Amino acid sequence: MSFLPMIALAVVAFLAAAFVLRLPRTAWALFGAALLFGLAGYAIQGSPDEPGAPKAAVDDTSGSGAALVEARRALFDPSVPPAPFVTVADGFARRGQYADAAGMLRGALDRDPNDAEAWLALGNALVEHAEGQATPAAMYAYDRAQKLAPGNPGPGFFVGLALIRSGKVGEARDIWADLLAHAPANAPWRAEMQERLDRLDVLIGQMGGQ
Residues 6+ apart with CB under 8 A from 30: none
- Average confidence score pLDDT of the chain: 79
Do 36 and 106 fall within a single domain?
Answer: no
Query: Residue 34: which domain range?
Result: 4-45
Do 14 and 92 fall within a single domain?
Answer: no
The per-type count for the chain, helices as H runs and strands as E runs, is 10, 0
Do 135 and 191 fall within a single domain?
Answer: yes
Do 110 and 77 fall within a single domain?
Answer: yes
Cβ-based burial of 71 (10 A; exposed 0-12, middle 13-18, buried ≥19):
middle
Do 25 and 99 fall within a single domain?
Answer: no
Mean pLDDT of the 139-166 span: 93
Q: What's the pLDDT score for residue 89?
A: 93
Do 98 and 202 fall within a single domain?
Answer: yes
Do 193 and 148 fall within a single domain?
Answer: yes
pTM over 0.85: no
Measured distance between the N- and C-terminal CA atoms of the chain, rounded to whole angstroms: 17
Total domains in the fold of the chain = 2
pLDDT digits (tens, 9 = 90+) for 95-133: 999 999 999 999 889 999 999 999 999 999 999 999 989
Do 28 and 100 fall within a single domain?
Answer: no
**Residue 6 is which amino acid?**
M
Kindly tell me if the per-residue pLDDT of 27 is higher than 80: no
Angle (CA) 106-108-114 rounded to 5° is 100
Cβ-based burial of 113 (10 A; exposed 0-12, middle 13-18, buried ≥19):
exposed
Distance, CA of 191 to CA of 194 (rounded, Å): 5
Look at residue 59 and tell me if it is in a domain.
no
Residues 6+ apart with CB under 8 A from 156: 146, 175, 176, 178, 179
Do 186 and 94 fall within a single domain?
Answer: yes
Question: What's the pLDDT band for 141 if we cut at 50, 70, 90?
Answer: very high
